[in-house]
Amino acid sequence: MPDQPLFEMAGVEGRTLEELRDAASTCTNCHLYQDATQTVFGKGPQRARLMIVGEQPGDKEDLAGEPFVGPAGRLLDRALVEAGIERQTVYLTNAVKHFKFTPRGKRRIHSTPNAEEIKACRPWLDGEMAAVGPAVVVALGATAAKALLGASFKVTRQRGEVVDRDGMKLTATVHPSSLLRLKDPERTEAIEQFVADLRATAALLD
Ligand code: SF4
């Protein structure tokens, strides 16, 4: 379980999404703001019943200032359609709001946020959850799952498990970027399983 219960970080309770977005745009709670282009805050309806939490913005998201607009986001879009979920009804965000990367020539290679960075960014995620009040929250990948469900949570073994907390159902599956790294036939099978997980998530909303 997380060290700190949801919503207990100071200064986020009672703030609207717009207020939180404005405040996060100048956040310096950790060093990641220094090299990234901008804060990539969550996006979606104020009263979304389903919230999806990824790890951090990628290269495309960092430049666009929006979550899930790169290759992994496009895969997520297709999977949502197949699972019968309309993307515009979902609030999409990340556990960490700045892009962490390692420069390699002209490219910026994704680098996984560490526990300190995830903790530093936690107030924004808590604020989003408090402001939106989703019925179901699904974490994508190990980083988001650990942030939401605790450091001992293992997506490989526990994907699809549902935890009831603070009036919400929390669950986790893989991050679509991990599916992009696979080759067929494993990739097709993994995408089918990902869609099945999202379909099960949608069923929690009924
Ligand atoms: S990653 Fe999060 S905590 Fe760190 S500077 Fe960006 S918004 Fe703030």
Residues with CB under 6 A from ligand 1: 24, 27-30, 32-33, 39, 96-98, 117, 120-121, 124
Per the prediction, the chain carries an average pLDDT of 92
- Which among 4, 3, 54, 18 is positioned nearest to 128, based on CA atoms? 18
CA 168, 169, 174, 176 torsion-angle sign: negative
Cα of 40 to ligand 1 centre, how many Å? 9
Amino acid making up residue 42: G
Tell whether the model's pLDDT for residue 10 goes beyond 70: no
Average pLDDT over residues 64-89: 96
Q: Whose CA is nearest to atom 4 of ligand 1?
A: 30
CA 37, 41, 45, 51 torsion-angle sign: positive
User: Is residue 11 very low, low, confident or very high in pLDDT (cuts 50, 70, 90)?
Assistant: low
pTM, two decimal places: 0.93
- Looking from the CA of residue 30, the nearest atom of ligand 1 is 4
CA 124, 144, 137, 36 torsion-angle sign: positive
Average pLDDT over residues 1-26: 71
Q: Whose CA is nearest to atom 2 of ligand 1?
A: 121
Residue with tokens 């990340």: 94
Tell whether the model's pLDDT for residue 180 goes beyond 50: yes
